[in-house]
Structure 1
Amino acid sequence: MIKIVPTTPYPDQKPGTSGLRKKVPQFQQKNYAENFIQSIFDSLEGFDNKILVIGGDGRYYNREVIQIAIKMAAANGFGKVMVGRGGILSTPAASNLIRKYGAFGGIILSASHNPGGPTEDFGIKYNASNGGPASEKITDAIYARTKVIDSYRICDDPDISLDVPGIKHVDEMEVAVVDPVEDYAALMETLFDFPAIKTMIQSGFRVAFDAMSAVTGPYAKEILENRLGAAKGSVKNFMPLPDFGGHHPDPNLVHARALYDEMMGPDAPDFGAASDGDGDRNLIIGKGIFVTPSDSVAMLAANAHLAPGYAAGLAGIARSMPTSGAADRVAEKLGIGMYETPTGWKFFGNLLDAGMVTICGEESAGTGSSHVREKDGLWAVLLWLNILAVRNESVKDIVTKHWAAFGRNYYSRHDYEEVDSDAANGLVDNLRDQLATLPGKKFGELVVQTADDFAYIDPVDHSVSKNQGIRILFEGGSRVVFRLSGTGTSGATLRVYIERYEPDASRHDLDTQEALADLIAVADEIAEITKRTGRLKPSVIT
């Protein structure tokens, strides 16, 4: 039976770059999740009797909200829901299901790389029929609806079993509980040379993958160990846990430190990788060398033709504005388009749908291609393995040869997490006030060439996105970028991106932080980071 339940709005349900993210206790407030889900449905048209994909990364409160979303989908007129067994679907796997089965869209329950648990983070985002994150037009409409919502629709049916695959029903709506891995693994087999990778692994090539007790565990276990023959135990922390084992499921050098230490050790495997909470980010480490996400995008693009799915070449490359310019030089050499977008995977969607780009990447460890409309951590791992199998070289050899050919972009991101929101906004306002006067100023040997607040005009639909990050570019190609992140749930995260281009191969073995030291000091001087935030150093350096 369908019930119409009266409700009152919450004022804090504005989606960020990746949906609505709050602490679990906030989502557990009366009607909080229901209000947001109903606002999604109220902002859409034409979904009667259509398919809705629902799944999440297995974090705390995932199962409860999936049951709510299924019952609300039935009450609002969807014809079918596809949900991953156990409520599990990685974000790229959900995107693939939407595209493969012609779904109207999908609801993905995740807070990505943020921690999980009873007092930690939870999130809900809507993906459109192309499999990608909802456009700003849709998220703006959802937010507007949350401010005035007065009721929601839900079926008064018992919960369904999520652990047994098969067809069930809620009211008159069909619910298909599906294997979360099968369709995704089948897609990967069409893109990569699995026999070549398997031969390499069987010859003694060792892989270490840290699933971080998050969603990619079952995917990596099936693909890397069962299909490609990596030794049992190659995939560590493969069981998705509601609290990610008490760890922060962010594949960076702080939170995946054990993997980094293993890869830098005397008996290191040949290839190390990790993925995050919902499976869309990646960490790549070779024996004795960490590959920055920005470099990884460029190197994957330069070598993608070695994988069967990309043998015909790339249409173009896109990167987020804060990502280093390493991929730009690859695009120039290949003679293909290069697009600089704001941060947020949704900005790649129009370019991918229009066939203008094939590979996209963000410095925040997100890499992907036209195969889905989300970044895809395991995809990046498999493309690296395919390249290694064909080139028969080590990760370190591939990296150093790439730098010799294209130059090295020394690059680092400094995150100041949970900064007081007023202090963070004041810092950004002060930077904006300086933009007109910065060009021509000298800071030691550094001279400011230009400074702006990045604005993006979408080449497909000509929409404009302003205030996407403050850029300070110096003569000679160095730059510093400041941006407030939209992925946190407490206070504000100030991200500072520092980059220096070095074409001289004899200077490619410097320590990154030392190579960037003068830029780091200037960033603090211009933005008054220490003075305004009270922080003497970043929370995380990547």
Structure 2
Amino acid sequence: MARRLFGTDGVRGVAGEFLSAELTLALARAATARVARSAAGNRPRVLVIRDTRESGEMLEAAVAAGVAAAGGLALLGGVLPTPAAPLLIGRYGFDLGVVLSASHNPFADNGVKFFGADGDKLSDAVEEEIEALLDLQPAQPAAIGGVSQLHGTLDDYLRELQTRFGGLDLSGRRILLDCAHGATYKAAPEIFRRLGAHIDVLADAPDGRNINAGCGSTHLDQLVDAMRAGGHDAGFAFDGDGDRVLAVDGNGTVVDGDELIALSALHLRAQGRLRGNGVAVTVMTNYGFHSAMAEAGIEVATTNVGDRYVLEALRQRDWAFGGEQSGHIVELGYAPSGDGIASALLTLEALGGSALSDRQGMEKLPQRLVNVRLPDRRALERAAEDAQMQAAIVRESQLLEGRGRVLVRASGTEPLLRVMVEAPSDDEADAVCGRLVGQAEAAAAQPAG
């Protein structure tokens, strides 16, 4: 069955419009009813957490009503980073977790993400089951459920972080945090303080509408400027729901997920903690990462873009570490999801006493990424499948073999052909990218056959 509502990361859209209270209630009711089938007569216990968007309380109430209508007990954990959900599910044995967040999107958007009793996001098949239940008359439960506040969730989450990084002494370290006016605004400063760091914080005053607005991991300018002003060993920027992080060093240079993963992978291997001696990353990962891992003798698995594909690759190989260039980094020994705060702490653990500007993880190759916008999906298909376009990709790839790479792929959501080139120099990357973009535009301009 084709999914109508669920995307790659839950159900997401403008709150109050596409993502209405009615739809949110129905999703929560269907998901809880599905869990109740296998609950052996026990009332399903459902964790509900959210980020700082102004629509969060409305949707939280809708989820609570849906859970209770299906006979479950909704336990409201308040504002917490998304990665707190699997950790709390594991600690308390919840049957289901619901996170209300649209991650790095603007405040007007919101989303519903479900986590299973194992702490994983639900599979495509389970999401399809939930959608199918929306079309059916809801079954009347044996008894109406309830709604309760779950107190102490922030402390529980901080306790998990402190257990994982309790041996990390950040005394004397000066760290700058950008909390995106989002879900990390309390948790991130607190754990860094507990570990001894002197911290300064940007974007830690959410008002419901300023989440991700000119701040956080998608808008790094203010963090870059503050780092260039001096006085900090490292700066970290989280996204709105706290499942990813990017860094900035003392020179104002952005350190993306590729570099953070490389630095941490080398550290974990040196500590004998890189399970399977392998790392899973996506097709967007910089060629320099692959070179660094090959030199270190670390195996790399490459997946499609998306954290769920990284997780699949890790589980298939019984590995524990991987992530994306966007800063979504997974350490399965800690939690089955990306955690921006944990990734920042792992970076500092890997650095030892060094500043981020002294990192030695990988040498990034210059990368050029151009999105060629086409009139429609048919033009996109013509450009992607054109014989001359395919020949150009092969030709440019051969010219860069052993020195860089070419990646051309169609967007799954928009009529865009994404052309990415990595080469040893900026000039060569620009030249190769320019030739491929020109060929793509010429192919799209050809009349339909």
When the two structures are superposed, what TM-score results if normalisation uses the length of structure 2? Answer: 0.85
> Any conservation in 2 of the 1:213–1:237 contact (CA below 8 Å)?
yes
Cα distance in 2 for partners of 1:56, 1:16 equals 19
Cα distance in 2 for partners of 1:495, 1:66 equals 38
SS in 2 for 1:243: coil
Alignment partner, residue 377 of structure 2: 425
Gaps spanning 5+ residues in structure 2: where?
A: none
Alignment partner, residue 179 of structure 2: 211
Amino acid at match of 1:410: P
Cα distance in 2 for partners of 1:229, 1:93 equals 22
> Any conservation in 2 of the 1:38–1:153 contact (CA below 8 Å)?
no
Question: Is 2:298 the partner of 1:298?
Answer: no
Structure 1 residues 129-157: Cα deviation after superposition (integer angstroms, max 9, x where no partner): 222221121223333444x24458799xx
- Picking from 399, 407, 423, the partner of 1:480 is 407
Q: Rate the CA distance shift 1:63–1:362 in 2: closer, same or farther, 3 A.
A: same
How far off is 1:529 after superposition? 9.8
Q: Percent identity?
A: 22
How far off is 1:522 after superposition? 3.1
Question: Is 2:129 the partner of 1:135?
Answer: no
| Coordinate RMSD, CA, aligned | 3.4
Alignment partner, residue 40 of structure 1: 31
Alignment partner, residue 396 of structure 2: 447
> Any conservation in 2 of the 1:481–1:497 contact (CA below 8 Å)?
yes
- Picking from 114, 131, 141, the partner of 1:126 is 114
- Picking from 14, 25, 48, the partner of 1:23 is 14
Cα distance in 1 for partners of 2:417, 2:136 equals 34
Q: Rate the CA distance shift 1:529–1:69 in 2: closer, same or farther, 3 A.
A: farther
Amino acid at match of 1:484: S
How far off is 1:228 after superposition? 2.7
How far off is 1:339 after superposition? 2.0
> Any conservation in 1 of the 2:369–2:420 contact (CA below 8 Å)?
yes
Equivalent residue runs for 1:502-541 within 5 Å: 502=424, 514=427, 516-528=429-441
Q: Rate the CA distance shift 1:36–1:378 in 2: closer, same or farther, 3 A.
A: same
Question: Is 2:243 the partner of 1:280?
Answer: yes
SS in 2 for 1:97: helix
Asked which structure has the greater RCO (Cα within 8 Å, sep 6+), the reply is 1
Structure 1 residues 417-455: Cα deviation after superposition (integer angstroms, max 9, x where no partner): xx7xx8353453123322x55454389xx53459xxxxx
SS in 1 for 2:196: coil
Greater share of residues in strand = 1
> Any conservation in 2 of the 1:94–1:106 contact (CA below 8 Å)?
yes
How far off is 1:210 after superposition? 0.6
When the two structures are superposed, what TM-score results if normalisation uses the length of structure 1? Answer: 0.71
Alignment partner, residue 281 of structure 2: 319
Give the paired residue count.
Answer: 438
Alignment partner, residue 3 of structure 1: none
How far off is 1:43 after superposition? 4.8
Alignment partner, residue 262 of structure 1: 226
Gaps spanning 5+ residues in structure 1: where?
A: 1-10, 156-169, 451-472, 487-491, 503-509, 533-542
Cα distance in 1 for partners of 2:300, 2:367 equals 19
Alignment partner, residue 160 of structure 2: 187
Cα distance in 1 for partners of 2:170, 2:71 equals 45
Cα distance in 1 for partners of 2:60, 2:223 equals 33
SS in 1 for 2:180: coil
Question: Is 2:68 the partner of 1:52?
Answer: no
Greater share of residues in helix = 2
> Any conservation in 1 of the 2:179–2:216 contact (CA below 8 Å)?
no
Structure 1 residues 181-201: Cα deviation after superposition (integer angstroms, max 9, x where no partner): 222222222322555222xxx
Alignment partner, residue 410 of structure 1: 366
SS in 2 for 1:16: coil
Question: Is 2:40 the partner of 1:76?
Answer: no
Equivalent residue runs for 1:215-226 within 5 Å: 215-225=183-193
- Picking from 55, 70, 80, the partner of 1:61 is 55
Runs of 4+ in structure 1 off by over 6 angstroms are 152-155, 529-532
Question: Is 2:350 the partner of 1:384?
Answer: no
